[in-house]
Structures are given as C-alpha cells and as structure tokens.
C-alpha cells in the first residue's frame, strides 16, 4: 500500500472529501464491520501493531467494547461508514476508524491515546484527516487537554498527516517494534488542545 502516493492523482483532482462518508460515533451495529476492517488493516499494513491473523477478532467482543467504551467514557470510537451495503443488509462497510483511549486513573484522565486506520482503497482522499478532526472536536467537548499517539518512524505518510494536524514529535522508543524485515523505532507524538501554560 505504500506506493499509493505515486498511483494517486493530484489532490485537487481527487475529489478531496467530496463523496466520503462523514465520520460518526460507532454503534453496536458496526461490530461486524469493525471486525472486518481490523482484519483488512492487519492484512494491508505493516504499520498496525498486529500481524495478519494474529489478533482474535470477535463480533460479540467488539459489540461489548463499543458499548462499554461509550458507557464508561473510556474509549471513543469514530468510524467512516458507508451505510447499508448490499440490499437487505443493514451492515455498513467501514472505510476507516479512529479510536482513542482515556486512562481510568485520575492522573491520566485528561488525555487520549489514539489509533487511526483507513483501508487502502479509501486512503489518500482526506479521510484520515477528517477522522482526526472529528476526534479532536469530540475531545475538546469532553474537556480533554492532550492527544497522544505512537507511530512507526518509517510511517512517513501517517507522520505527515499528524504533523499537518498539529501534532509534534515528543520522543522515540528505539527498536520498539519487531517487523519481519527488522526492528523499527516508534515515535511518540502529541498535541495539546489548550496552551501549555493554561
Ligand atoms: C496513514 C493513514 C491513516 C492516512 O489516511 P488517509 O485517509 O490516506 O489520510 P489523508 O488522505 O487525510 O492524508 C494523507 C496524507 O499523507 C501524506 N502522504 C501520503 N503519502 C505520503 C508519503 N509517501 N510520504 C509522506 N507523506 C505522505 C500526504 O500529505 C497526504 O495528504 P495529501 O492529501 O496532501 O496527499 C492511512 O494510510 C492508514 O490507515 N494507513 C495504514 C495504517 C496506519 O498507518 N495507521 C496509522 C498508525 S499510527
């Protein structure tokens, strides 16, 4: 998927955001589509944490995760969903998601830790950016002060996207991730949603 940039027409000719799904909060009925999206992302991208087929993907567990995250306020899940799918099938197709965990302990409860993924077929059209914007808006509503994430140092595309969204590099965990091709550093990035002296 990493040669996608070469394949893509220039941004102005790409229908940037035009026909893309508007991000919305995940619903219980998204569980099946979520499981499918995770499997696709694990297959397509070495930038997610799991090897293809490595994580146990279970629709019921996903449904419980969506419900628990909403009730507890500990996880925000936002999806880019194409609703309806095939005739008579209400299951949406998810093109991407952003998830954000809020630590349950007091000293971390002002921050969210993010994971972002857009399937290859939908990438390069502003969806990742749009998901991030939606998450930031929800975070501000919740009074969150800090957004943070980890990204492989080799993931130039994601790093560019995060920097454009106002994230800065905060540190590096050397050889934190083991790929088939070798060890890779993980960058920490963060964005404060209010001035540091506030
Ligand atoms: C990284 C990812 C979220 C980007 O999603 P997306 O929907 O393509 O994002 P956008 O279209 O909003 O922005 C992509 C931007 O990346 C940048 N970019 C793309 N290819 C690049 C490359 N090879 N080098 C540097 N920057 C690149 C461009 O600035 C591009 O913006 P453009 O529209 O001006 O071309 C998506 O590709 C993805 O999910 N990849 C697999 C999983 C992953 O890496 N997740 C992040 C884990 S931290």
Determine which helix (DSSP H) or strand (DSSP E) holds 158, and give its type and residue range.
Answer: helix 156-164
Distance (Å, whole) CA 195 – CA 46: 35
175: tokens are 């050889």
- Residue 14 resides in a domain: yes
Task: Say if residues 134 and 99 touch (Cβ distance below 8 Å).
Answer: no
Predicted pLDDT at 20? 82
pLDDT at 4: 46
Percent of the chain residues topping a pLDDT of 90? 81
Q: Is 21 in the pocket of ligand 1 (CB under 6 A)?
A: no
Distances (CA, A) of 109 to 145, 150, 151, 171: 9, 18, 22, 21
CA distance 157 to 164: 11
Is residue 18 in some structural domain?
yes
Q: Domain for residue 164, yes or no?
A: no
Domain assignment present for residue 51? The answer is yes
Task: Tell which one of 23, 128, 151 to mutate to probe ligand 1, the residue whose CB is within 8 A of the most ligand atoms.
Answer: 128
Would you state the pLDDT for residue 148?
Answer: 98
Nearest Cα neighbor of 78 from 154, 157, 131 is 131
- Domain presence at residue 185: no
Q: Is the CB of 128 under 6 A from ligand 1?
A: yes
Which structure tokens are listed for 154?
């080799």
Q: What is the CATH number of the domain that holds 113?
A: 3.40.630.30
In a domain, 160, yes or no: no
The position carrying tokens 């279970």 is 58
Give me the domain span that covers residue 20.
4-151
The answer to whether residue 2 scores a pLDDT higher than 50 is no
- Nearest atom within ligand 1 for CA of residue 158: 1
Task: Give the model's confidence band at 43: pLDDT under 50 very low, under 70 low, under 90 confident, else very high.
Answer: very high
In a domain, 182, yes or no: no
pTM summary value? 0.88
Number of helices and strands (H, E) in the chain?
5, 7
| Number of domain units in the chain | 1
Mean pLDDT confidence for 107-126: 96
> Is there a domain that residue 168 lies in?
no
pLDDT at 18: 59
* Residue 125 Cα: closest atom of ligand 1: 11
Longest dimension (CA), the chain: 54
Bridge partner list, 59: none
């Amino acid at each position: 998927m990493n040669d996608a940039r070469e394949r893509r027409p220039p941004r102005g000719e790409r229908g940037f955001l035009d026909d893309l799904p508007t991000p919305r909060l995940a619903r219980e009925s998204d569980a099946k589509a979520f499981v499918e999206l995770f499997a696709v992302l694990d297959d397509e991208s070495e930038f997610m944490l799991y090897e293809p087929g490595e994580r146990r993907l279970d629709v019921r567990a996903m449904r419980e995760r969506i419900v628990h995250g909403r009730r507890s306020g500990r996880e925000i899940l936002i999806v880019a969903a194409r609703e309806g799918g095939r005739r008579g099938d209400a299951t949406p197709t998810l093109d991407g998601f952003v998830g954000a965990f809020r630590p349950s302990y007091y000293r971390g409860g002002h921050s969210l830790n993010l994971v972002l993924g857009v399937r290859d077929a939908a990438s390069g059209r502003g969806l990742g950016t749009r998901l991030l914007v939606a998450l930031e808006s929800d975070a501000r509503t919740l009074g969150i002060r800090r957004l943070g994430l980890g990204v492989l140092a080799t993931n130039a595309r994601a790093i560019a996207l995060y920097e454009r969204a106002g994230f800065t590099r905060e540190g590096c965990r050397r050889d934190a991730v083991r790929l088939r091709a070798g060890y890779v550093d993980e960058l920490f990035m963060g964005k404060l949603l209010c001035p540091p002296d506030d």
